[in-house]
Structure 1
Amino acid sequence: MNLSFNDLTVNFSKYNSKTLLSDWHWLIGKNRIPILITAFGEPFVQETGSGEVFFLNVYEGLMTRVAVDLDDFKEQLNSDDFSEKYLPIQAVGDLRLAGKMLSIGEVYSFKVPPILGGTYELENIEVCDIQVHFSILGQIHHQVKDLPVGAEIGSVQLNLVKRPWWKFWN
Structure 2
Amino acid sequence: MEKEVDIFAPVTDLGKGDALEAWRWLVGDTASVRLLTSMGDIFFVRKEGILKKERVYFLDTGAGEMELASKSWKLFREMIKTMDGVPGHWFKYSLLKEISDEPLEQGNCYSPNILPGLGGEYIKENFSPVSWIVHVDMAGQIHEQCKDFPPGTPINSFSLDVQKQP
TM-score class, shorter: 0.7 to 0.9
Deviations 1:110-149 (A, max 9, x none): 1122233322221111001000001110000000000111
TM-superposed CA distance for 1:59, in Å, is 1.4
Displacement after TM superposition at 1:88 (Å): 2.1
Change (3 A) 1:112 1:85: closer
CA, structure 1 residues 102+108, in 2 after alignment: closer, same or farther (shift >3 Å)? same
Matches within 5 A, 1:1-170: 1-3=2-4, 7-17=6-16, 19-48=18-47, 49-77=52-80, 78-82=82-86, 84-97=88-101, 99=102, 101-161=103-163, 168=166
Deviations 1:6-47 (A, max 9, x none): x11024332435501110011001211111111001111011
Task: Describe the shift of the 1:120–1:17 C-alpha distance in structure 2 as closer, same or farther (beyond 3 A).
Answer: same
Q: Which is helix-richer, 1 or 2?
A: 1
Cα contact 1:17–1:33 (8 A) shared by 2: no
Q: Which runs of 5+ in 2 are unaligned?
A: none
- TM-score norm. by structure 1 comes to 0.85
Structure 1, unaligned runs of 5 or more: none
Number of residues of Structure 1 aligned to a counterpart in Structure 2? 160
Q: Compute the RMSD of aligned alpha carbons.
A: 1.9
Cα distance in 2 for partners of 1:40, 1:113 equals 12
The percentage of aligned residue pairs carrying the same residue is: 28
CA distance in 2 between counterparts of 1:36 and 1:16 reads 9
